[in-house]
Structure 1
Amino acid sequence: MKTALTIAGSDCSGGAGIQADLKTFSAHGVFGMSAITSVVAENTVRVICYQDMTPEVIQEQITAVCEDIFPDAVKIGMLSCRETMEAVATSLKRWQPKQVVLDPVMYAKNGSALMDPEAIDTLIQKVLPYATLITPNIPEAEKIAEMKIESLADMEAVARKIYQTSGAAVLVKGGHKVGDATDLLFDGQNVSQYSAPRIDTKNTHGTGCTLSSAICAQLALGKDLSEAVVAAKEYITKAIEQALPLGHGHGPTHHFWAFYPND
């Protein structure tokens, strides 16, 4: 069985973060492992608070996994501060995983900040260069590239700028725009667009975590980057179509739609 490691924050309500990543890995038939960077008290309505793990605990979790069950692919999510980013970068340098999907989580679905804005330079300089693929949404891509996105041409320009900085392929997610949900991938040579009809639902908690972990799982299974993105896009579209109306805010996507549809 193929394996994947998620390095991210937890979501006690189960819709995002580590919990969403592990569910997504399982849905793809991949054995999931985790290194928790932050414990987040959140639900579908709000983020109450979070507590960062110490750099030592973060690194030792990654060591415990990599020295015993080396992952075929790694997904990175919430890195809230400089110390966390530096700890993860040190571990990536030590263990050199082949496939790394980095989702630069800056905000929760309700808009609550999950990354210190002053740490963005550390993310760019110390973590992004270890990534195979970076998957920012439009607000995150704008922050990283310091450019405004108002069109597909802008998405491409931002993706190219982030690639020049990091050397990693970039998938700019278009879910924050109106019209069809179009994501744009720049792999250093080619530009590809992946579109799906926009689904009329408020239940989109954890969509970014789920998409990035689905790509990670597909890479672990041996797909090339374009194939992995296509398959993950199809998976997240179905998960949103059958999203679960749980809680009083943005409900979670349905990670196991293929096994028990939400009728």
Structure 2
Amino acid sequence: MTQNATPPRVLTIAGSDSGGGAGLQADLRTFFACGVHGMTAVTAVTVQNSLGVTGVSVIPPEVVAAQIETVADDIGVLAAKTGMLATAEIIAAVAKACDRVHIGRDGRIPFVVDPVAASMHGDPLLRDDAMSALRTELFPRATLVTPNLDEVRLLIGHDVRTHADAREAAKALHALGPQWALVKGGHMHDDPECVDVLYDGETFLELPATRIDTIHTHGGGDTMASSIASALARGMAVPDAVRFGKWFVTNAVKHAYPLGSGVGPVSAFWRLPDDGAFSLS
């Protein structure tokens, strides 16, 4: 990118994590590390730290929609992703706003739907009506959906224990309408590898990576989805963007760090220089 040129712009539609480990904070860190300009449509403000979520304040749906439309109309969006969407009413508002600014569905602006349904501590983040709205309102508009195995179970009732199960789950998810479905294998803890399965309705692509022995994985799903969105904004095709996201999040997990008394976040810092960062020379 030439000096002073406007970088690719990526929008995250997600909740705020007061502990800074996940949510839109993780997205913005990842966007920066991927060399894109990050924008936000805030859906909810959570009260959380490394030990869990103790409160959620939801943003009015019309305010969420206005954030999307305002940045799209002026700054422009080359890719968008979702995180925690909190309520069925917000999901409906997001779907309508995305249609108005050509995110998803018509293919003009790639749309990554990360169906965040629970925190990594097990705290529920979506009611049943919101889960239904995800399936009916956002999946048909999505370029790519990126559920983990817990979210697969909530969305389609599949208990994924093997790679064959993951392929069947990818088929069922694709039948809900997205162009591509990615079933992430990080929660298949008995498998020595983390194998993600990508499916476009015809072809499966398996993406393996060595499993990393750490408890510090907070924000891993957000980081993968936002790195994929960054790659899409830079013009990559979906399979290559997913490969990039897999590579990015694997390195982020390798460099995860402890924080507070509980689970620490994956780190985007591995993409930044670690020596002389504060030197003026």
Q: Structure 1 length as normaliser, TM-score? A: 0.97
* 1:71 alignment partner, SS class: coil
| 1:170 corresponds to | 181
C-alpha deviation, 1:2, in angstroms: 0.6
Q: Which amino acid letter does the alignment assign opposite residue 67 of structure 1?
A: D
| 2:72 corresponds to | 66
| 2:92 corresponds to | 86
Answering whether residue 45 of structure 2 is matched by residue 42 of structure 1, we say no
C-alpha deviation, 1:200, in angstroms: 0.7
User: CA, structure 1 residues 207+261, in 2 after alignment: closer, same or farther (shift >3 Å)?
Assistant: farther
C-alpha deviation, 1:148, in angstroms: 2.1
| 1:257 corresponds to | 270
- Residue identity over aligned pairs, in percent, reads 39
C-alpha deviation, 1:261, in angstroms: 4.9
What does the per-residue CA deviation read over 1:133-169, in whole Å, with 9 as the maximum and x for residues that have no partner? 0000011112212222121111111111111111331
Kept after mapping to 1: 8 A contact 2:216/2:264: yes
Answering whether residue 147 of structure 2 is matched by residue 153 of structure 1, we say no
Kept after mapping to 2: 8 A contact 1:242/1:254: yes
| 1:99 corresponds to | 110
Q: Which moved more, 1:113-122 or 1:59-68?
A: 113-122
Matches within 5 A, 1:102-121: 102-121=113-132
Answering whether residue 145 of structure 2 is matched by residue 142 of structure 1, we say no
C-alpha deviation, 1:123, in angstroms: 1.1
Provide the C-alpha distance between the structure 2 equivalents of 1:150 and 1:108, rounded to a whole number of angstroms: 21
* 2:14 alignment partner, SS class: strand
Provide the C-alpha distance between the structure 2 equivalents of 1:253 and 1:165, rounded to a whole number of angstroms: 30
The one of 207, 217, 237 aligned to 2:230: 217
Q: Which amino acid letter does the alignment assign opposite residue 133 of structure 2?
A: T
Provide the C-alpha distance between the structure 1 equivalents of 2:208 and 2:97, rounded to a whole number of angstroms: 35
| 2:106 corresponds to | none
Gaps of 5+ in 1: none
What does the per-residue CA deviation read over 1:74-118, in whole Å, with 9 as the maximum and x for residues that have no partner? 011101111111110111111112200010001111111111133
What does the per-residue CA deviation read over 1:172-215, in whole Å, with 9 as the maximum and x for residues that have no partner? 00010122111110022210111111111111000000000000
User: CA, structure 1 residues 8+49, in 2 after alignment: closer, same or farther (shift >3 Å)?
Assistant: same
| 1:244 corresponds to | 257
Q: How many residues align?
A: 262
Provide the C-alpha distance between the structure 1 equivalents of 2:185 and 2:88, rounded to a whole number of angstroms: 27
Provide the C-alpha distance between the structure 1 equivalents of 2:134 and 2:253, rounded to a whole number of angstroms: 29
What does the per-residue CA deviation read over 1:13-43, in whole Å, with 9 as the maximum and x for residues that have no partner? 1110000001101100000000000001111
Question: Which protein is bigger by CA-based radius of gyration?
Answer: 2
Gaps of 5+ in 2: 1-6, 104-108, 276-281
What does the per-residue CA deviation read over 1:38-87, in whole Å, with 9 as the maximum and x for residues that have no partner? 00111111101011100111011111101101110001110111111111
| 1:193 corresponds to | 206
Kept after mapping to 1: 8 A contact 2:145/2:178: no
Provide the C-alpha distance between the structure 2 equivalents of 1:172 and 1:13, rounded to a whole number of angstroms: 27
C-alpha deviation, 1:260, in angstroms: 3.8
| 1:17 corresponds to | 23
C-alpha deviation, 1:219, in angstroms: 0.5
Kept after mapping to 2: 8 A contact 1:242/1:261: no
Q: Structure 2 length as normaliser, TM-score? A: 0.91
